[in-house]
Amino acid sequence: MSSTWTLPDDLVVPELPADHPGPGAPIPQHWGRCFGCGDDQPSGLKMDFVIGEGLEVIGRLEVANRFQGGPGFIHGGILMTAFDEAQGMACSAALRAAVVTGHFETDFARPIPLGSVLEIRARVEGTVRRKVYTSADARIVDGPLADPEVVVASSSGLFVTVGHEHFEKGRRFADGLPGPDRDVSAF
């Protein structure tokens, strides 16, 4: 795999929040209609997440038939979406802040068959002002071609922290709205 991605020299590695739960703690979906994690989005990925070690989160994706690209294999854009969701979740869990994706790149190392279960480990590498540098890798842990030792894809992404006013702009286009109880500090 190759990448043009480089981390800046002035990267700051954040401290975990004092009440950060330990590895294995479930991370709630950030809202039900999200294409990545929502359980109220029938066409979505329906990913599940738990806290990992340190600044890492662990996501799980069941590669359903509707995620097909080339015959028998996952669509590359679906895989990027899964990485995007996982890396965004890592930001949110580590920083307790809302983020949006600014820049994203993915290496596709192996074809991933339908019926696989993918484990995506995503982490915050560090921050520079509002910029959050993240990385992630994916392994097939169940189903056809499962081999938890082999990284089948990896990803790097720059996220930018935003205030709630960012989402106010989308309110009138929204298909439903997050409830008033939505709280990223609920991890």
Ligand X SMILES: CCCCCCCCCCCCCC(=O)SCCNC(=O)CCNC(=O)[C@H](O)C(C)(C)COP(=O)(O)OP(=O)(O)OC[C@H]1O[C@@H](n2cnc3c(N)ncnc32)[C@H](O)[C@@H]1OP(=O)(O)O
Which residue ranges make up the site for ligand X (CB under 6 A)? 30, 36, 84-85, 88-89, 92, 98-103, 129-131, 158, 160, 162, 167, 178
| Distance (Å) of CA 178 to CA 40, 41, 44, 73, 161 | 11, 13, 17, 33, 18
Instruction: Find the shortest distance in angstroms from Cβ 146 to ligand X.
Output: 26
Instruction: Find the shortest distance in angstroms from Cβ 145 to ligand X.
Output: 27
Return the number of other C-beta atoms located less than 10 Å from residue 56's C-beta.
19
Residue linked to tokens 């800046």 = 8
What is the spatial distance between Cα 72 and Cα 127, in angstroms, rounded to a whole number? 38
Q: Which is nearer to ligand X, 28 or 148 (CB)?
A: 28
Instruction: Find the shortest distance in angstroms from Cβ 87 to ligand X.
Output: 7
Residue nearest to ligand X (CB): 88
| Distance (Å) of CA 137 to CA 96, 118, 149, 178 | 22, 10, 11, 29
Q: Which is nearer to ligand X, 66 or 103 (CB)?
A: 103
Instruction: Find the shortest distance in angstroms from Cβ 152 to ligand X.
Output: 21
Instruction: Find the shortest distance in angstroms from Cβ 140 to ligand X.
Output: 22
Q: Which is nearer to ligand X, 1 or 162 (CB)?
A: 162
Q: Which is nearer to ligand X, 73 or 167 (CB)?
A: 167
What is the spatial distance between Cα 170 and Cα 88, in angstroms, rounded to a whole number? 18
Q: Which is nearer to ligand X, 20 or 110 (CB)?
A: 20
The 3-class secondary structure across 75-92, one letter per residue, is CHHHHHHHHHHHHHHHHH
Strand partners, 139: 119, 151
